[in-house]
Amino acid sequence: MNFVWILLAHWVGDYAFQTSKMAVGKSHHFKWLILHVLTYSGVLLLCSLILFPIKVAISFLLINCILHGITDFFTSKLTSKYRKKPRIFFPIMGFDQLIHTATLYLTFLNRETLVFF
């Protein structure tokens, strides 16, 4: 059940709290990508602190924050090229979410061994 809470936090941070400026701007301006990742990370941090001990929560957050930013850096550039071609745009968005979900799942399963301080 805890992983469902992680997925909910992911949805809130990645979609509900992402503004239109972030969504469009992150593919062209690093500032918007960083702002999106920080917003996402804030939501994930709150959820992580509720579910995990502090050291696990911070390690889980840092790893996912970095990986989320790297994933969005590439997928947002691709989606911006194909925004007007739904047949290409939506599979890229789906792949983006597959990467995020796999990353969250793998780090969730290994959260105790990923503590680095």
Compute the half-sphere exposure of residue 10: CA atoms within 13 Å on the CB side of its CA: 22
Read off the pLDDT of residues 54-76 as tens digits, 9 standing for 90 and up: 999 999 999 999 999 999 999 99
* Residue 52 neighbours by CB under 8 Å, 6+ apart: 60, 111
What is the pLDDT of the chain when averaged over all its residues? 96
pLDDT classification of 33: cutoffs 50, 70, 90: very high
Read off the pLDDT of residues 98-116 as tens digits, 9 standing for 90 and up: 999 999 999 999 998 988 7
Is the CB of residue 42 less than 8 Å from the CB of residue 13?
yes
Determine the pLDDT at residue 4: 98
- Is residue 117 over pLDDT 90? no
Q: Where are the domains of the chain?
A: 2-109
Determine the pLDDT at residue 86: 95
- Is residue 44 over pLDDT 80? yes
* Average pLDDT score over residue span 22-47: 97
Q: Give the whole-angstrom CA distance, residue 93 versus residue 104.
A: 17
Is the CB of residue 112 less than 8 Å from the CB of residue 55?
no
